[in-house]
Amino acid sequence: MKEHIAELIGVAIDTLKQQGVLPTDLTARVMVENTKDKSHGDFATNIALMLAKQARCAPRDLAQKLVEALPKSDSVTQVDIAGPGFINFFASSETINAVVGQILAQKESYGLSQVGAKQRVQVEFVSANPTGPLHVGHGRGAAYGATISDLLAAVGFDVYREYYVNDAGRQMDILATSVWLRYLELSGERLEFPSNGYKGEYIREIARKVQDQFGQALIKSAKDVFDGVSADEPKGGDKEIHIDELIAKAKSLLGIVNYEGLFDIALNDIRWDIEDDLAEFGVRYQKWFSERSLTRGGDVEKSLKLLQDAGHIYEQEDGALWFRSTAFGDDKDRCVRRENGMTTYFASDIAYMNNKFERGFDKVLYVFGADHHGYLPRMKAVCQALGYPLEKLDFRLVQFAILYRGTERVQMSTRSGSFVTLRELRDEVGNDAARFFYVSRKSDQHMDFDLDLAKSQSKDNPVYYIQYAHARVCSVMRKLAEHQWQFDAALGLANLDRLDSDYEKNLMTALARYPEILENAALNYEPHALALYLKDLSSEFHTWYNALKVLEEDEVLRNARLTLSDAVRQVLANGLGLLGVQAPEEM
């Protein structure tokens, strides 16, 4: 309908050009918007205000001329000029009603589009280090990444979801060493657990699995392990040096084969746990991309060579290699290979990005936690240094959620190992509430996540409110049978003109907005827009439902209202599905 009105305006503009009222070289983008106030009709355009200057003409006069030049249309019943020069359009009831038939015909595909034109988009999200279970901060990234991926797919993009597994590097060594030390404790050794080690209870569980698999084979005396290792921080030493020396001890005492065996048990255990956790949360990936595969496959060396050949890498006296990211606006240059010959995590990041581009994606999207925002300049620098246009790259930052129980803030602490995990959150409030709450706010804003509200089964809780609207329609459909009635959609659709109340008109207008909401939410990576829309639609529905009876004696009216109910149900189901939330038939 908006397109139709824009076309009408376009014709009117051309006519005025021919009449010499408007300059022929004038270009205008006609904007048609939904009106907020019903007295302003159904659609409005500010075109006269925008063109007034170029036309050397008062806005209202220009609006008058445009209206006079407007071609006739069956869909438009009335055109007004209002305010400083807005042109308001009133749509015919047939035009407004038409959406109901559309929805019933298109069912789950109502709202989908092809604006993405099958462009290939790669989305990387969560990518938390496999050093422990996901916590509630990761949960928001997971819900957000999964939802924008699904939204993009819904509007015609070819979406490829990836989780980058940091399965190489120091953090993983710390994990493996932590597991080993707990294993030694289980075996009866008494030792001082390093302050920088991973202390969560899950480490002990993994240690028991190591015991199952290796038996006594990995036992060394605590005396041998700590012999020659410098002091830990609480005893006046440096905790980083302390843990690094313990890692070295683990490798030398166990030998490379046993060490890697231990390492892999820890890695796989946590990775499976994360994968399982996310799957239960309705989050699935096309690929779990291993960092080790980049190192071992030579991708890291290859991409560094690429940058080196392009002159973006320099070597310092100590032998370390640096990427000149300052040439692309970064604050400082970045080390890619340390003096000890080890490549940095950043070197892997470069290799991974290069790998993504080589796979030919049209768009590469990173969803980061907000604490990683300092990464953006260097990532953009890499993109340019590799010779790819920045337009292919996109970043979205997800802020952390702060948990509350009512008004009381839930304390979280990663250090003590007593953080709130995503799994704990899901167990407490359920997947539906968690998925919905996470994406119901703009992603780059902090959000307060009220656990009590998320659990409450009342109208205060938007998830239940929306789900209840869906269940209500289903309930009405079930009630039909009790009256020995049947839903006659054809009869209803043929008599939509019986739905002449403002309640019903508002509902249909809301239904008609869905495809546009969906498209904007997807293209702007803003799932909260869809969440808000579903709440609004539910509200319109409840208002109508409360005011007018669906199961009327009058068969024609009854079926007309049933078609509208079913259309609402369908759109709610479609929208909730995209948010990863169930649409229950009864509650």
Partner RNA sequence: GCCUCAAUAGCUCAGUUGGAUAGAGCGUCCCCCUCCUAAGGGGAAGGCCGCAGGUUCGAUUCCUGCUUGGGGCACCA
Least Cα distance to 326 among 377, 366, 285, 364 occurs for 377
CA-CA-CA-CA torsion sign (450, 456, 459, 465) = positive
227 CB neighbour count, 10 Å cutoff: 10
CA-CA-CA-CA torsion sign (274, 137, 363, 110) = positive
Angle at which helix 431-439 crosses helix 136-154, to 10 degrees, equals: 80
User: Using CA atoms, how far apart are residues 163 and 169, in angstroms rounded to an integer?
Assistant: 17
Out of 23, 255, 374, 387, name the contact with RNA by CB under 7 A: 374
x/- track of binding to RNA for residues 325-344 (CB under 7 A): ------x---x--xx----x
Q: Does 88 bind RNA (CB under 7 A)?
A: yes
Q: Which of residues 416-455 bind RNA (CB under 7 A)?
A: 441-442, 444-448
**Least distance from RNA to the Cβ atom of residue 377, Å:** 7
Out of 14, 33, 94, 502, name the contact with RNA by CB under 7 A: 33
Q: Does 78 bind RNA (CB under 7 A)?
A: no
Q: Does 491 bind RNA (CB under 7 A)?
A: no
Q: Does 483 bind RNA (CB under 7 A)?
A: no
Are 574 and 537 in contact, with CB atoms under 8 Å apart? Answer: no
Out of 52, 267, 420, 425, name the contact with RNA by CB under 7 A: 52
Out of 2, 6, 21, 50, name the contact with RNA by CB under 7 A: 50
Which residue's CB is nearer to RNA, number 175 or number 225? 175
Are 231 and 91 in contact, with CB atoms under 8 Å apart? Answer: no
Q: Which of residues 158-187 bind RNA (CB under 7 A)?
A: 166, 169-171
Alpha helices by DSSP H, listed for 38-135, are 47-55, 59-69, 93-106
Angle at which helix 462-482 crosses helix 431-439, to 10 degrees, equals: 130
How many residues contact RNA, by CB under 7 A?
79
Out of 21, 67, 82, 491, name the contact with RNA by CB under 7 A: 82
Out of 73, 129, 195, 384, name the contact with RNA by CB under 7 A: 129
With H, G, I as helix, E, B as strand and everything else as coil, classify residue 171.
helix
Which residue's CB is nearer to RNA, number 208 or number 479? 479
**Least distance from RNA to the Cβ atom of residue 252, Å:** 20
Helix (H) or strand (E) holding 369: strand 363-369
With H, G, I as helix, E, B as strand and everything else as coil, classify residue 121.
strand
Which residue's CB is nearer to RNA, number 82 or number 219? 82
Q: Which of residues 219-278 bind RNA (CB under 7 A)?
A: none
Q: Which of residues 524-583 bind RNA (CB under 7 A)?
A: 524, 526, 528-529, 532, 535-536, 539, 542-543, 545-551
Q: Does 9 bind RNA (CB under 7 A)?
A: no
Q: Does 502 bind RNA (CB under 7 A)?
A: no
168 CB neighbour count, 10 Å cutoff: 20
With H, G, I as helix, E, B as strand and everything else as coil, classify residue 321.
strand
Which residue's CB is nearer to RNA, number 312 or number 441? 441
Q: Does 520 bind RNA (CB under 7 A)?
A: yes
User: Using CA atoms, how far apart are residues 424 and 421, in angstroms rounded to an integer?
Assistant: 5
User: Using CA atoms, how far apart are residues 513 and 536, in angstroms rounded to an integer?
Assistant: 11
List the beta bridge partners of residue 405: 408
Which residue's CB is nearer to RNA, number 235 or number 332? 332
Q: Does 26 bind RNA (CB under 7 A)?
A: no
442 CB neighbour count, 10 Å cutoff: 13
Q: Does 44 bind RNA (CB under 7 A)?
A: yes
Point out which span in 143-151, 227-235, 263-271, 460-468 binds RNA (CB under 7 A): 460-468
Point out which span in 113-121, 262-270, 365-373, 420-428 binds RNA (CB under 7 A): 365-373
With H, G, I as helix, E, B as strand and everything else as coil, classify residue 322.
strand
